[in-house]
Every structure is written in C-alpha cells, then in structure tokens.
Chains A and B, each alone.
Chain A
Amino acid sequence: MSAAQSRPELVLSPQPGESPFAAYKLGAPYDEMFAADGTVRPHYAALAERLANLPPEELLRRQQACETSFLHQGITFTVYSDKQATERIFPADLFPRIVTASEWAKIEAGLTQRIAALNLFLKDIYTDGRVLKDGLIPRSMIYGSKHYRREMRGLPVPHDAYVNVCGSDLVRNESGEYVVLEDNLRVPSGVSYMLANRDVVRRAFPSLFRSQGVRPVDQYPRELLATLRALTPVREDVSIAVLTPGVFNSAYFEHAFLARQMGVELVEGRDLLVNDNVVYTRTTSGLKRIDVIYRRIDDDFVDPLIFRDDSALGVSGLFNAYRAGNVMIANALGTGVADDKAVYAYVPRLIRYYLSEEPILNNVETFLCREPKSLSYVLANLDKLVVKAVGESGGYGMLVGMHASKAEREAFAEMVKADPENYIAQPTIQLSTAPTFVDGRVEPRHVDLRPFILHADKTVIVPGALTRVALRRGSLVVNSSQGGGSKDTWVLSN
C-alpha cells in the first residue's frame, strides 16, 4: 500500500488490468479489510482474491446491476428538503462488510446484555423507581425527559419487555474495538435494507457467498413475527398489524415490506377503531379484531385522546385498550426515555446495577461533567472534545472543540462550570473504514453497524446488520438523508 499512498489524490478510472485497490489509501482509522501494514485481513482474503480476478468493467457492471435491482424493487427512501420530498434509492455498495464469528459472538453477547439492562431500567422507572431512590440516576433526567410517559406508570407489559425491537448503532474505534454509539429504542428502521442488500449482493458474488459460510438473515421476518406473537396470550388466530404513519413516511417501504414478509395487515391509524376497549381494523367484510400492533409511529401520535390531541396518525382509545390488556403494542410506549444522550452515558452503570455484570460492549467514552474529576478533564481538553448539553437536542448547546475558536471555548467553559450537571463530553471518534465502490474505483469509506435485536420472552439477534456507509470521502455522517449508503453485512459462521 505504500506505493498507493504516494499516488496523487485524483486518479482517473483504473485502466484494464490494474488492481481495483491500486488507489486505496489507508489512514489513521481502523480499516475493516486491511491491517495497518497493508496486508489483507484473513476474513477478507477470499473477497480480495475474487476482486483481483475481476476486470474493473465487470465490477462496474455488477454495481450497476445492483442499483437497478433496488430501483426495480422499489427500495427507496424519501429525502425531505424545502417542502419537496424526493424518493431516492438508498445506494447499496457492492462489497460486503465482513464480520468474523468471534467478533459477532461478542457483539451478540454485548447487545443481549445491553437490552436486558435497558428493559430492567424501563421497568424500574415505570414502577418502583429503585434506580432513582438509590441516586444512581438523577430524577430530573428521567422526569424531565419529554419521552417519559407518566401514563405508563405501574402498567405491566408482557415479559417485562418494553423494547421488543431495538436497533443499536455500533462503531469501531481506532483500536478496532466495537463500541456502542447509540441505542434506538423507539421505532428503529433499516432492517429491510439489511434483507434487500443481502438479496442483491448474494447474486453479485454467488460463488464467493456460498464458499464463505455466511450466516443467513432471511429468517428475520419470521423471528419478528414470533416476537410479536409472544406478547399476546392469544394463541390461535393471532391477529397482528403493522401500524404505519402512511405512504409519505420515509420508511413506508420498510413497513409494507415487513407486513408482507410476515403475512400480516399493514394499517394506518384511520383503518383502526376502538370499540368497547377493543381494537379493530376495518375490512371489506366488517370489523376484525387486532391482538398485537407493531407500531412504526412515535409515542406522541399513537392516541390523540391521551397524547398529542392533534395527531391524525393514531387511534383514539388505543392506549386505554392497551392499558386493559386487550391489545399489545410493540415497542411499549415510553421507551424513548432510555435512549437519549443523557441516559446513554449511564448504560454501563445500569448494566452493573441491574445485572451485576461488567459491560461486554463499551460505550463511546463519555465524560459526565457532574462528576468533578470528569469536569476538570473536560475543561482542560475542550479543544479535543465534543461537549453536549444533555437536555438539549438538535445541536443546540453543543461545542465541537476542534472547530471552535478560543473565545467560543472559553465562553462555553463558563457555561459548563455554571451548570456542570447539564453537560456531557465525548472525544471525536474516527469510524472504521471499509472498501467501497466509488466512481469505478475502490476507496475507503467510514462505516457503522446497526444490528437489530428482538426481545420478548427471549432475545434474538439475527446474525447480520445494516452497515451504513458515509459515501463522501472523509465524511463521518452515515445517515441516509446525508449522502449515506449501505452495505450487506456478512457474519461468518466460523
């Protein structure tokens, strides 16, 4: 790779016969495929060999086939900008991201542990509040959260499972360790891309796929259905529905996809009604009772009688039917309180508190300014850290130290000193890179990893994930709305 590193920045499309990796430049971040010395990591060897034997035109052809397939399947998402909504395909990259069996075993164990602790935490704050009485978490952080639903207090949920579907975002830091960046406990999306990417990439590299021992992911809809069924005591003719905000939602494709794959109804709020505390869907042959709702709408919109009264997406009376146990809702309401920035910082402690175990997966290092030791560290290293106000969102009350002027940093330091409880700080993380097909060449791009965790009577993590890619060179933003793409994720069986 040293030869490659001395090449000029701009390289035209490779000539026939040239390795597609000729222009691949390794930087400081951990690379998924290449070790720091430029050698190919063993689990990527087969892919490297396959690519070396493919002419660049062939690669390009396969990448195009891949994109066409997405377009034909209608796998799109919506970008909202200036009142105009545009449907785009979510760019899928040809090269799979490969995860070894041992890496996956750790991820699986870590996420299983994490969701167990988060569910115990949710149960606790909606019942006894032991964690608050013990002073581990300040009350203001919970009761002050707009996602804390007082209506859920004392309400039992099946198997004490508040979060039934979780998408956790993991990143690899410079040393190659997987750390958790964020838990998505409300209505995480993206699993349909995990399944669609697999479909397409498997066809692009059929023999490689077969020889690698890649663990399957196509059982996800079946596992999701089993998770939803486990929530209701009804055993025969269980009636399940996916509740979507509607066709204008950016993830509508996924809602329709999952409903079709599970063989259940796809409904909007206006299709449902509540009569005598029971939820029904209107069908051409009359009303049909619904036992379980997999809702893909936010808490606020679920029931205009209880939550936002201007909600046109929800069903009036739904929450009382839920309270009475006549319908189950996944995820339970009020789970968002456990996935905000502030609580995130406490998750390792919650794991120790509820499970008496050490966290298997670490958080991104987070300094709580309420702790004097952390505070002095943060104040001394403001230029290297990202400081965030815990109660705020949308970038308000945030300082990116390395991009701020000295005066800005000093002003911010005063704010932090005045109210340290309100601030946390994190180092800037360099996400790992993975080879990505860009303009006919292979270049390193930053990636994250979002596995999906199902949890009801047991925890199931389908061995796969959505790998999101920041397609712009150097960018660390993997969101689909910000020029992100995705990759198939191959979890190897050994």
Chain B
Amino acid sequence: MFYSVRHITRFRYSSPVRESVMEIRMQPRSEGPQMLRSFQISTNPRSQLYAYTDHFGNAVYHFNVLKEHAELRIEAQAVIEIARFQLPPIALDLLEWERFNNYNLTHDHFDLLEPSKFALPSPALAAFMTEKNLAKPEGDPLTALGYLNTTINQAFDYESGVTQADSPIEHALTGKRGVCQDFAHIMIAIARSWGIPARYVSGYLYHRPKTQDRSGPDATHAWVECYLPSLGWVGFDPTNNILADERHIRAAVGRDYADVPPTRGTFKGVAASELAIAVSVEPTQAPVRHEDFLRVARPMATPAPTPSMPQHLYHQQQQQQQ
C-alpha cells in the first residue's frame, strides 16, 4: 500500500517576529513494514534545513529564520509504502509475563517503564483504574492491553478543543473527553504501571472513506506501542479502538508527546501566535522505480577501448559523450 502524506503547518503572528528557530519531527520512519519512499520539506520564508537523528531514531529537521516575518509556513510531503500487515494473534499464553526478563525490561526499555512528563500516575488515574477494573491483569498481557484499548475508547468522548497538546491527562480523566494524545498518554501510563514498556507514536492515519474513525482526517494522529517479548512492539490505537495496522503511518516515537511534537520552536518578539494545521493522507500509486524511469536508454556509439588505453581515460571519455 502506498500513501502520499501532505502536512502543512502555518504560524501567524499578531506582529512581526524575528529569529525563529524550529525543530520538526514529521518525517515518517523507515522500519518494519513501513518504508519511506520520498520526503520533501520546505519553509516559507525560505530557510536552510538541517537534520539529525535523535536518540529514539526519529529524523529531526531544524532551521531558523533571522529576519522579521509575520507568518511561517512549513510544508512536508512524504510518500510511504506499507507492506502487508501481519496482525498479532488474538491472545498469548499466560507465560508471556515471565518472558519479561531483566534484559527486555532494562536496556532500551528502561525509560519506557518509568512515568514521563505526560504519562504520570495521579489520583485521577488511580480512580479511573479502580472504576474500570484496570489493576494489573491476571490474564495474558496481549488480551489485557486489548481490553485496556477498548476500555479507554469507550470511557471517553472524542472532542477536540477541550484539551491542549500539552494538557496533563487529568483534564481528560476528569472531563471524560479528549483527543488521541490524551488517550495515548492514559494508556501508556496504565501499561507501564503493569510493567509493560509503552511508547508514544506520533504520525498519520489514513481514514478510509467509509470507516468510523473518531479521529479527524485532517490532523496528525497519535497512538501507543507496547512491548511484548514474543511479539515485539504492538501498536494500539485507543482513539479508534483498533490495533495499529497498515493505515497507521509512524513518524516519530518517544516516551510521550513531549519527546515528539511535530514542531517545536522559539522566536523573538512580542506577539500572539495562531497555529493552523492541515494534513491529508491519500493512497497513491507506487512511485516509478529508477529502472523504469530510466528505460529510454540510448545505445552509445563508443569505440571499443584499445588495449593501450588506460582504464581511467576510457571512463573519462565515456562520460564526456553522455
């Protein structure tokens, strides 16, 4: 399956600002069944983009705009291929708990078992866990996580605007409503309390025309991945009560939202800023492969090399004829 993702972010300032500095985490990852085929990113005002890989393996772009500007636009465009998805089994055996060992609970996963900025234990969370019977499960962890996914989905209304990107989960827990970020953070906090490494995934969801997804089609999406020793990372989407599948396009992973905001920036100047975001995810054709694109090859009328001609000279002359 091929998808084309277009993601536009626009900041408008009430009066001109200067020295904007920004980091962007929007480039879809290439791993597992997901392969990034192309990625372009540009800014307006134009800027030189730099990139690095953060310690979670996310591609981070960053840039700055020195001169005064009242608007800053970032446009990212990606083509992604997602291979046919092997959904995990319905359940695992009870011994799965014992397969968590010192190794897979410490090395790379240590941070993903600890509370983090937005996935913090709290009285509201404890009350929710008691109410919904979400103490550490007796049954196998995969079934339990599926139950948790559904429970969160059913306990909260999807409503954008009541929580902010950086709201603590208390807002959603007390108001019983929120967006994908809130649901992901709640699920992460509970999974970790069970001793299951859990991480936050920021990305995009392809909304099929007739599916009943609660998350909006014109926004970025967020879900959860939990580590199970016999399966590796399994994605859960509590917003839509589904497992992450070939419609989920992963851009960045982290402990929670704080590690992977799509944009993070600073500027100088006194101004109110207004943020507008547009996202589209569309199925697309497979991009033309190099081999096909280059198929109009012309035979070259090159004289055969004479035995005395040095190899490098031969190559050099060939290039000149092209």
Contacts and interface: CB of A to CB of B under 8 A. Distances in A.
Given A273-B19, A274-B64, 16 more contacts: A129-B107, A133-B107, A139-B110, A140-B110, A144-B114, A151-B55, A273-B66, A276-B48, A305-B264, A309-B266, A316-B21, A316-B64, A316-B266, A320-B52, A323-B52, A324-B52
A306 to B, nearest CB: 8
Contacts of B48: 276
A143 interface: yes
Interface in B76-108: 106-107
B266 A304 contact: yes
Given A144-B114, A154-B55, A324 B50 contact: yes
Interface in B47-68: 48, 50, 52, 54-55, 62, 64, 66
Given A276-B48, A305-B21, A317 B62 contact: yes
Contacts of B106: 139
Contacts of A69: none
Given A274-B21, A316-B21, A143 B110 contact: yes
Interface string B5-37: 000000000000001011100000000000000
A150 B52 contact: no
Nearest to B18: A273
The interface centre, meaning the residue of A139, A143, A320 with most chain B CB atoms within 10 A of its CB, is A320
B111 interface: yes
A211 B23 CA distance: 62
B140 to A, nearest CB: 27
Contacts of A274: 21, 64
B55 A153 contact: yes
A320 B19 contact: no
A463 B52 CA distance: 43
B64 A275 contact: yes
Contacts of B114: 143-144
B55 A150 contact: yes
A144 B23 CA distance: 26
A320 B51 CA distance: 9
Which label, helix, strand, loop or mixed, suits the secondary structure of the B interface?
strand
Interface residues of A, number: 23
Q: List 9 A-B pairs, minimum CB-CB distance, nearest first.
A: A316-B21, A153-B55, A316-B266, A317-B21, A139-B110, A276-B48, A304-B266, A277-B50, A320-B62
Interface in A128-149: 129, 133, 139-140, 143-144
B287 interface: no
A382 B62 CA distance: 54
A276 B114 CA distance: 36
A277 B62 CA distance: 9
Nearest to B264: A305
B67 to A, nearest CB: 10
7 contacts: A140-B110, A153-B55, A274-B64, A277-B62, A317-B62, A317-B64, A324-B50
B198 to A, nearest CB: 16
B305 interface: no
Nearest to A129: B107
A309 B264 CA distance: 10
A276 B19 CA distance: 11
B265 interface: yes
Contacts of A129: 107
A133 B106 CA distance: 9
Contacts of A304: 266
B55 A305 contact: no
Nearest to B108: A129
Interface in A162-209: none
A458 to B, nearest CB: 30
A50 to B, nearest CB: 59
A320 B50 contact: yes
A395 B55 CA distance: 34
Interface string B261-293: 000111000000000000000000000000000
Contact of A305 (B50, B66, B265): B265
B59 to A, nearest CB: 14
A143 B54 CA distance: 17
Given A144-B114, A323-B52, A305 B23 contact: yes
Contacts of B19: 273, 316
Given A304-B266, A317-B64, A143 B111 contact: yes
B64 A276 contact: yes
A162 to B, nearest CB: 17
Contacts of B52: 320, 323-324
Nearest to B66: A275
A24 to B, nearest CB: 55
Interface string A420-454: 00000000000000000000000000000000000
A369 B269 CA distance: 52
Nearest to A152: B55
Nearest to A280: B66
B288 to A, nearest CB: 34
B21 to A, nearest CB: 4
Contacts of B55: 150-151, 153-154
Contacts of B107: 129, 133
The interface centre, meaning the residue of A140, A151, A276 with most chain B CB atoms within 10 A of its CB, is A276
A252 to B, nearest CB: 24
Interface string A257-287: 0000000000000000111110000000000
Nearest to B23: A305
Nearest to B63: A276
Contacts of A275: 64, 66
A177 B286 CA distance: 75
Nearest to B266: A316
Contacts of A139: 106, 110
A459 B62 CA distance: 36
B262 to A, nearest CB: 15
Contacts of B21: 274, 305, 316-317
Interface in B229-285: 264-266
A331 B82 CA distance: 44
Contacts of B66: 273, 275
Contacts of B264: 305
B55 to A, nearest CB: 4
A16 to B, nearest CB: 66
A475 to B, nearest CB: 40
Contacts of B23: 305, 320
Nearest to A133: B107
A46 to B, nearest CB: 58
